[in-house]
Structure 1
Amino acid sequence: MNIRGILNSTSFFSVVLDAGQLDDLAAATSEVRFGRGEVLMRQGEIGTAMYVLTDGKVTVSVHQPGGDKTVATLGPGEVVGEMAVITGERRSATVKAKGRVTALEITKAALAPLLAAEPKLAHRFGTMIEQRTGELTGRRDKVRQSISVGLGREQIAARMTSYYSG
Protein backbone atom coordinates (compact mmCIF):
# COMPACT_ATOMS: atom_id res chain seq x y z
CA MET A 1 0.00 0.00 0.00
CA ASN A 2 1.28 3.49 -0.78
CA ILE A 3 1.69 6.34 1.74
CA ARG A 4 -1.63 7.94 0.78
CA GLY A 5 -3.44 4.62 1.22
CA ILE A 6 -1.88 4.04 4.63
CA LEU A 7 -2.83 7.52 5.84
CA ASN A 8 -6.35 7.01 4.53
CA SER A 9 -6.65 3.73 6.44
CA THR A 10 -5.39 5.33 9.68
CA SER A 11 -8.35 6.80 11.54
CA PHE A 12 -6.17 9.41 13.25
CA PHE A 13 -5.89 11.11 9.84
CA SER A 14 -8.82 9.84 7.78
CA VAL A 15 -11.36 11.12 10.31
CA VAL A 16 -9.73 14.55 10.52
CA LEU A 17 -8.47 15.29 7.00
CA ASP A 18 -10.33 15.48 3.71
CA ALA A 19 -9.04 13.83 0.51
CA GLY A 20 -7.02 16.84 -0.64
CA GLN A 21 -5.43 17.27 2.77
CA LEU A 22 -4.54 13.57 2.86
CA ASP A 23 -2.88 13.97 -0.55
CA ASP A 24 -0.87 16.97 0.70
CA LEU A 25 0.18 15.16 3.88
CA ALA A 26 1.17 12.04 1.91
CA ALA A 27 3.40 14.15 -0.34
CA ALA A 28 5.24 15.50 2.75
CA THR A 29 5.52 12.13 4.52
CA SER A 30 8.39 9.67 4.26
CA GLU A 31 8.90 6.02 5.09
CA VAL A 32 11.54 5.20 7.72
CA ARG A 33 12.96 1.96 9.10
CA PHE A 34 14.21 1.07 12.56
CA GLY A 35 16.25 -1.94 13.66
CA ARG A 36 15.58 -4.16 16.66
CA GLY A 37 16.01 -2.19 19.89
CA GLU A 38 16.35 1.14 18.11
CA VAL A 39 14.69 4.08 19.87
CA LEU A 40 12.04 5.96 17.90
CA MET A 41 11.63 8.54 20.69
CA ARG A 42 12.73 9.11 24.28
CA GLN A 43 10.66 10.31 27.20
CA GLY A 44 11.39 13.97 27.88
CA GLU A 45 12.66 14.84 24.40
CA ILE A 46 11.15 17.55 22.27
CA GLY A 47 9.19 15.84 19.51
CA THR A 48 9.85 16.65 15.89
CA ALA A 49 7.96 13.76 14.30
CA MET A 50 5.14 11.32 14.83
CA TYR A 51 4.93 7.88 13.27
CA VAL A 52 2.30 5.62 11.74
CA LEU A 53 3.53 2.06 12.21
CA THR A 54 3.23 0.02 9.02
CA ASP A 55 5.23 -3.11 9.87
CA GLY A 56 6.62 -4.53 13.10
CA LYS A 57 5.94 -3.74 16.74
CA VAL A 58 7.19 -1.22 19.28
CA THR A 59 7.15 -1.12 23.06
CA VAL A 60 6.09 2.01 24.91
CA SER A 61 7.60 2.56 28.33
CA VAL A 62 7.60 5.31 30.94
CA HIS A 63 10.33 6.07 33.42
CA GLN A 64 9.09 5.91 36.99
CA PRO A 65 10.77 5.79 40.36
CA GLY A 66 12.14 2.28 40.56
CA GLY A 67 12.73 1.87 36.83
CA ASP A 68 11.09 1.84 33.44
CA LYS A 69 7.64 0.30 33.03
CA THR A 70 6.35 -1.02 29.72
CA VAL A 71 2.81 0.28 29.27
CA ALA A 72 1.95 -0.87 25.75
CA THR A 73 2.99 -2.79 22.69
CA LEU A 74 1.83 -1.22 19.45
CA GLY A 75 1.77 -2.51 15.89
CA PRO A 76 0.77 -1.73 12.32
CA GLY A 77 -1.86 0.97 11.89
CA GLU A 78 -1.14 2.60 15.24
CA VAL A 79 0.19 6.12 15.72
CA VAL A 80 2.96 7.07 18.17
CA GLY A 81 4.40 10.44 19.13
CA GLU A 82 1.39 12.50 18.15
CA MET A 83 1.04 14.54 21.37
CA ALA A 84 4.54 16.02 21.15
CA VAL A 85 4.17 16.94 17.48
CA ILE A 86 0.63 18.25 17.81
CA THR A 87 1.07 20.34 20.99
CA GLY A 88 4.82 20.87 21.43
CA GLU A 89 4.80 18.98 24.75
CA ARG A 90 7.86 16.91 25.57
CA ARG A 91 7.68 13.18 24.85
CA SER A 92 5.68 11.37 27.53
CA ALA A 93 7.19 7.93 26.87
CA THR A 94 10.07 6.08 25.27
CA VAL A 95 9.25 4.00 22.21
CA LYS A 96 11.59 1.21 21.03
CA ALA A 97 11.43 -1.20 18.11
CA LYS A 98 10.83 -4.82 19.24
CA GLY A 99 12.19 -6.06 15.93
CA ARG A 100 12.45 -4.48 12.52
CA VAL A 101 9.93 -1.67 12.21
CA THR A 102 8.76 0.31 9.20
CA ALA A 103 6.81 3.51 9.78
CA LEU A 104 5.61 6.67 8.10
CA GLU A 105 7.32 9.73 9.56
CA ILE A 106 5.16 12.83 9.79
CA THR A 107 6.96 15.96 10.92
CA LYS A 108 5.74 19.25 12.32
CA ALA A 109 6.85 20.80 9.01
CA ALA A 110 4.55 18.40 7.13
CA LEU A 111 1.55 19.38 9.28
CA ALA A 112 2.20 23.13 9.34
CA PRO A 113 0.86 23.99 5.84
CA LEU A 114 -2.35 22.04 6.50
CA LEU A 115 -2.98 23.92 9.72
CA ALA A 116 -2.13 27.28 8.15
CA ALA A 117 -4.65 26.64 5.37
CA GLU A 118 -7.37 25.26 7.67
CA PRO A 119 -7.11 26.48 11.31
CA LYS A 120 -10.17 24.41 12.30
CA LEU A 121 -8.04 21.28 11.91
CA ALA A 122 -6.56 22.01 15.35
CA HIS A 123 -9.98 21.39 16.92
CA ARG A 124 -10.47 18.19 14.92
CA PHE A 125 -7.04 16.89 15.95
CA GLY A 126 -7.86 17.90 19.53
CA THR A 127 -11.02 15.79 19.42
CA MET A 128 -9.11 12.82 17.98
CA ILE A 129 -6.40 13.04 20.65
CA GLU A 130 -9.02 13.33 23.39
CA GLN A 131 -10.67 10.15 22.08
CA ARG A 132 -7.33 8.33 21.84
CA THR A 133 -6.44 9.34 25.39
CA GLY A 134 -9.73 7.82 26.55
CA GLU A 135 -8.99 4.58 24.68
CA LEU A 136 -5.45 4.40 26.04
CA THR A 137 -6.65 5.00 29.57
CA GLY A 138 -8.37 1.64 29.52
CA ARG A 139 -5.09 -0.03 28.52
CA ARG A 140 -2.84 1.91 30.83
CA ASP A 141 -4.94 2.98 33.79
CA LYS A 142 -2.22 2.25 36.37
CA VAL A 143 0.25 4.64 34.76
CA ARG A 144 -2.22 7.09 33.22
CA GLN A 145 -0.86 10.12 35.04
CA SER A 146 2.65 9.34 33.85
CA ILE A 147 1.75 9.23 30.16
CA SER A 148 -1.15 11.63 29.73
CA VAL A 149 -0.95 15.38 29.78
CA GLY A 150 -4.57 15.43 30.97
CA LEU A 151 -5.80 17.92 28.39
CA GLY A 152 -9.23 18.16 26.78
CA ARG A 153 -9.84 18.91 23.10
CA GLU A 154 -10.12 22.69 23.61
CA GLN A 155 -6.81 22.81 25.50
CA ILE A 156 -5.15 20.59 22.89
CA ALA A 157 -6.47 22.80 20.07
CA ALA A 158 -5.27 25.95 21.85
CA ARG A 159 -1.79 24.49 22.40
CA MET A 160 -1.66 23.27 18.82
CA THR A 161 -2.68 26.69 17.48
CA SER A 162 -0.05 28.39 19.64
CA TYR A 163 2.67 25.85 18.77
CA TYR A 164 2.11 26.07 15.02
CA SER A 165 1.67 29.84 14.88
CA GLY A 166 4.95 30.62 16.64
Structure 2
Amino acid sequence: MAATFQHKQYSPGEVIFRKGETGTFLYLVERGSVIIWVGDEADKKIIGEVETGGLFGEMAILDRQPRMANASAAGETQLLEMPASVLRQAINRADPLVVQLINVLINNLRRSAKDSEPQV
Protein backbone atom coordinates (compact mmCIF):
# COMPACT_ATOMS: atom_id res chain seq x y z
CA MET A 1 0.00 0.00 0.00
CA ALA A 2 2.94 2.40 0.58
CA ALA A 3 3.43 2.72 -3.19
CA THR A 4 0.01 4.40 -3.42
CA PHE A 5 1.16 7.36 -1.32
CA GLN A 6 2.75 10.44 -2.88
CA HIS A 7 4.94 12.88 -0.96
CA LYS A 8 3.85 16.50 -1.21
CA GLN A 9 5.40 19.62 0.32
CA TYR A 10 3.32 22.55 1.59
CA SER A 11 4.50 26.01 2.60
CA PRO A 12 3.21 27.79 5.72
CA GLY A 13 -0.42 28.83 5.20
CA GLU A 14 -0.79 26.93 1.93
CA VAL A 15 -4.29 25.49 1.56
CA ILE A 16 -4.47 21.70 1.20
CA PHE A 17 -8.22 21.55 0.62
CA ARG A 18 -11.27 23.75 1.05
CA LYS A 19 -14.66 23.22 2.62
CA GLY A 20 -17.15 21.91 0.05
CA GLU A 21 -14.59 20.15 -2.15
CA THR A 22 -14.79 16.47 -3.04
CA GLY A 23 -12.55 14.20 -0.99
CA THR A 24 -9.93 12.90 -3.39
CA PHE A 25 -7.12 12.14 -0.94
CA LEU A 26 -6.51 10.93 2.62
CA TYR A 27 -3.51 12.65 4.17
CA LEU A 28 -0.81 11.51 6.60
CA VAL A 29 1.35 14.22 8.16
CA GLU A 30 4.90 13.04 7.68
CA ARG A 31 6.51 16.23 8.98
CA GLY A 32 5.04 19.48 10.29
CA SER A 33 1.42 20.11 11.14
CA VAL A 34 -1.90 21.03 9.55
CA ILE A 35 -4.67 23.22 10.88
CA ILE A 36 -8.30 22.38 10.21
CA TRP A 37 -10.46 25.49 10.12
CA VAL A 38 -13.75 27.04 9.08
CA GLY A 39 -14.62 30.57 8.00
CA ASP A 40 -12.61 32.63 5.57
CA GLU A 41 -8.87 33.17 5.49
CA ALA A 42 -9.17 36.59 7.14
CA ASP A 43 -11.26 35.22 10.03
CA LYS A 44 -10.25 31.59 10.60
CA LYS A 45 -11.84 29.58 13.37
CA ILE A 46 -9.41 26.74 14.06
CA ILE A 47 -11.25 23.56 14.98
CA GLY A 48 -8.27 21.22 15.11
CA GLU A 49 -4.61 20.60 14.43
CA VAL A 50 -3.07 17.44 13.00
CA GLU A 51 0.56 16.87 13.90
CA THR A 52 3.27 14.54 12.63
CA GLY A 53 1.94 11.00 12.37
CA GLY A 54 -1.71 12.09 12.23
CA LEU A 55 -4.28 11.39 9.53
CA PHE A 56 -6.95 13.71 8.15
CA GLY A 57 -9.31 14.03 5.21
CA GLU A 58 -10.96 10.63 5.69
CA MET A 59 -14.57 11.63 6.28
CA ALA A 60 -15.26 13.06 2.82
CA ILE A 61 -13.82 9.90 1.30
CA LEU A 62 -15.73 7.44 3.45
CA ASP A 63 -19.17 9.01 3.16
CA ARG A 64 -18.68 10.72 -0.22
CA GLN A 65 -19.91 14.03 1.16
CA PRO A 66 -18.15 17.38 0.59
CA ARG A 67 -15.32 18.43 2.89
CA MET A 68 -16.64 19.93 6.16
CA ALA A 69 -13.74 22.33 6.73
CA ASN A 70 -10.57 23.77 5.25
CA ALA A 71 -7.07 22.43 5.84
CA SER A 72 -3.81 24.32 5.51
CA ALA A 73 -0.19 23.87 6.48
CA ALA A 74 0.69 25.41 9.84
CA GLY A 75 4.36 25.62 8.83
CA GLU A 76 6.66 23.82 6.41
CA THR A 77 4.80 20.53 6.09
CA GLN A 78 5.31 17.28 4.23
CA LEU A 79 2.30 15.05 3.64
CA LEU A 80 1.78 11.60 2.24
CA GLU A 81 -1.32 11.61 0.05
CA MET A 82 -3.35 8.44 -0.52
CA PRO A 83 -5.93 8.39 -3.32
CA ALA A 84 -9.53 7.97 -2.17
CA SER A 85 -9.89 4.76 -4.17
CA VAL A 86 -7.24 3.02 -2.05
CA LEU A 87 -9.01 3.83 1.22
CA ARG A 88 -12.37 2.78 -0.22
CA GLN A 89 -10.89 -0.56 -1.35
CA ALA A 90 -9.61 -1.20 2.17
CA ILE A 91 -13.00 -0.32 3.69
CA ASN A 92 -14.79 -2.58 1.20
CA ARG A 93 -12.74 -5.50 2.57
CA ALA A 94 -13.58 -4.67 6.19
CA ASP A 95 -16.13 -6.43 8.37
CA PRO A 96 -19.64 -5.03 7.61
CA LEU A 97 -20.18 -4.27 11.31
CA VAL A 98 -17.03 -2.13 11.36
CA VAL A 99 -18.17 -0.31 8.21
CA GLN A 100 -21.57 0.38 9.78
CA LEU A 101 -19.90 1.68 12.94
CA ILE A 102 -17.70 4.01 10.88
CA ASN A 103 -20.77 5.33 9.03
CA VAL A 104 -22.64 5.98 12.28
CA LEU A 105 -19.66 7.85 13.75
CA ILE A 106 -19.24 9.99 10.63
CA ASN A 107 -22.96 10.81 10.51
CA ASN A 108 -22.89 11.80 14.19
CA LEU A 109 -19.82 13.98 13.65
CA ARG A 110 -21.33 15.73 10.63
CA ARG A 111 -24.60 16.32 12.51
CA SER A 112 -22.73 17.71 15.51
CA ALA A 113 -20.64 20.00 13.33
CA LYS A 114 -23.70 21.27 11.49
CA ASP A 115 -25.52 21.94 14.77
CA SER A 116 -22.58 24.00 16.06
CA GLU A 117 -22.25 26.18 12.94
CA PRO A 118 -23.21 29.80 13.48
CA GLN A 119 -26.59 30.67 11.97
CA VAL A 120 -26.47 33.48 9.42
TM-score, scaled to structure 2: 0.73
- Name 2:73's counterpart in structure 1: 97
- Name 1:73's counterpart in structure 2: 49
29, 33, 44: which is aligned to 2:5? Answer: 29
Counterpart amino acid of residue 60 in structure 1: I
Counterpart amino acid of residue 72 in structure 1: G
1:4-55 C-alpha deviation (Å, 9 max, x unpaired):
xxxxxxxxxxxxxxxxxxxxx2221222111111111101111101101111
1:79-120 C-alpha deviation (Å, 9 max, x unpaired):
11110111111000101101111111011122344345x2x3
Aligned length: 110
- Name 1:145's counterpart in structure 2: 113
What does 1:97-136 align with in structure 2 at a 5 Å threshold?
A: 97-115=73-91, 118=93, 120=94, 123-124=97-98, 127=101, 130=105
CA RMSD of aligned residues (A): 2.9
- Name 1:85's counterpart in structure 2: 61
Is 2:29–2:51's contact at 8 Å kept on the other side of the alignment?
yes
In structure 1, the gaps of 5 or more residues are 1-24, 135-143, 149-166
Structure 1 stretches (4+) deviating beyond 6 angstroms?
Answer: none
Percent identity, aligned pairs only, is 25
Q: Normalized per residue, which structure has more helix? A: 1
Q: Normalized per residue, which structure has more strand? A: 2
RCO higher in structure (CA 8 A, sep ≥6): 2
TM-score, scaled to structure 1: 0.55
Match status 1:46 vs 2:18: no
